[in-house]
Amino acid sequence: MSQAQINVFYELEIIDGKADEVREIAKQMVSFNHEGEPETLVYNVYISADEKLLTYWETHANNEAIMFHADRFANGSYVGQILERTASARLCLYGNVSDEMKAWATDNGFEIEYAELIDGFVR
């Protein structure tokens, strides 16, 4: 992992009976982000075997890339569609997250767990 990269783990509890809808929205989100976010390096969405958890695993090139993604997400139509079909959530950012990103998260009502990179590598 580059010292500049930011990883995101976002896990949401799916409301009973909404798994199929969540799957379809997630596919649309992947396409939207693939086309419009060249510095989003990884954007994978998972659903648990019991269809109770939706998990996003993302890697952004740097703080500017995650800020760009966060603005698109918060101001786009997908956030409402996902939040209407999910309940509680856990959002974690891993890496050297900028004070600007932390302020943005607070200002936009996100409760985030932060973890700084000690060391590591990607093959």
pLDDT (tens digit, 9 = 90+) per residue, 54-73? 999 999 999 999 999 999 98
pTM for this prediction: 0.93
Binning pLDDT at 50, 70 and 90, where does residue 120 land? confident
Q: Are 93 and 84 in contact (CB under 8 A)?
A: no
- The strand pair at 86-94 and 40-47 is best described as unpaired
Closest CA to 86 of 23, 1, 44: 23
Within 8 A by CB and 6+ apart from 121, the residues are 1
pLDDT at 6 over 70: yes
Asked if CATH classification 3.30.70.100 holds for the domain at 6-115, the reply, yes or no, is yes
Within 8 A by CB and 6+ apart from 44, the residues are 56, 57, 58
